[in-house]
Structure 1
Amino acid sequence: MHTVDQEIVSATLTVAVPAAKVFAVLADPTAHSAIDGTGWVQEAVNQAPLTEVGQIFRMAMYHAKHPDGDYQVVNKVQVLDPPRAIGWLTGYDKGDGHLEFGGWIWRYDLAPLGPSETEVTLTYDWSAVPQFRREFIQFPPFGPEHLTNSLHHLAELVAGR
């Protein structure tokens, strides 16, 4: 199930895995390409687990409509509340040592439904994207089904670990 509300899209799925185990997978950047519902995320450039707010981790990406095809995004951990919530802002390296974030955030909220079940909500929020950026990028840049796909990938991944 997914919902679109103004400038936020989210999807929710219940997985038969404890919240701590789900959180551990989400905090592992090397798992993100397997979770991704768009097929754009390639691999983690920074492979260290996400352990603190403000932590930066980079991901190799591919998108046919991106000017370079292959590119990198820089993510900055914005929310880290194990095992309940994790989220990051996405941006890029301007090439001069400065990072710029686009105004959108990916967030997972985990609600334990007992010892071995977790309700996972994935939210993509672009409400803070400035107008000038909206002239070049359509938001959301994917259909809401991609969030549902991501949650199903996550469920498969955590079940197999």
Structure 2
Amino acid sequence: MDQENVSATLTVAVPAAKMFAVLADPTAHPAIDGTGWVREAVDRAPLSEVGQVFRMDMYHPNHPDGDYRMANKVQVLDAPHAIGWLPGQENGDGHLEFGGWIWRYDLAPLGPSETEVTLTYDWSAVPQAIREHFQFPPFGPDHLTNSLRHLAELASGR
């Protein structure tokens, strides 16, 4: 694959501020994800600033332990237009290490009660040493669209 990012876009009948609030709530992420990999927010405070770290309990059948924890660092926070984070992990001494991929949501208001949401997964900064062990993207082609549908359902119900 020559491209090092994938994205999907969905128009949702929800105001951008409401969509952003759902995305800034780590406790909503398991419902948005849809793969079953994102299990529970460890850090439950809303995302409020660039540099903020929020941890999520995760599960993946191919992970050596099955259960593991990701430490995500907020990279983009421009309410209600964009939010994104770098997934990483804490090493043994508590230092954060990031793999080079980012999740980013861009929200474009289409009036007072409708938003175009674009979800992008970008792995262009992943070092070769990591690429030798993992396939990118690590999910099927429908994952981003399904995730946006879950986000829309969740935001519509709030």
Q: Which interval holds the TM-score relative to the shorter structure?
A: over 0.9
- Letter paired with 2:36: G
> For 2:100, what is the secondary structure of its paired residue?
strand
- Letter paired with 1:12: T
**Gapped regions of structure 1 (runs ≥ 5):** none
1:24 corresponds to which of 21, 24, 31: 21
Paired residues of 1:103 and 1:128 also in contact (CA < 8 A) = yes
Question: Counterpart of 1:6?
Answer: 3
Query: Percent identity over the alignment?
Result: 82
> For 1:21, what is the secondary structure of its paired residue?
helix
> For 2:99, what is the secondary structure of its paired residue?
strand
> For 1:86, what is the secondary structure of its paired residue?
strand
> How far off its partner does 1:10 sit?
0.3
- What are the within-5 Å matches in structure 2 for residues 93-104 of structure 1? 93-104=90-101
Question: Counterpart of 2:68?
Answer: 71
> For 2:101, what is the secondary structure of its paired residue?
strand
CA distance in 2, matches of 1:78, 1:143: 25
TM-score w.r.t. length of structure 2? 0.98
* CA RMSD after TM alignment: 1.0
- What are the within-5 Å matches in structure 2 for residues 33-48 of structure 1? 33-48=30-45
Q: Which runs of 4+ in 1 moved over 4 A?
A: none
Q: Indicate whether 1:138 and 2:131 are aligned.
A: no
CA distance in 2, matches of 1:95, 1:16: 45
Size of the alignment, in residue pairs? Answer: 158
2:59 corresponds to which of 62, 68, 78: 62
Q: Indicate whether 1:112 and 2:109 are aligned.
A: yes
Per-residue deviation, residues 62-101 of structure 1 (Å, max 9, x unmatched): 0000001000001000000000000000010112111100
TM-score w.r.t. length of structure 1? 0.96
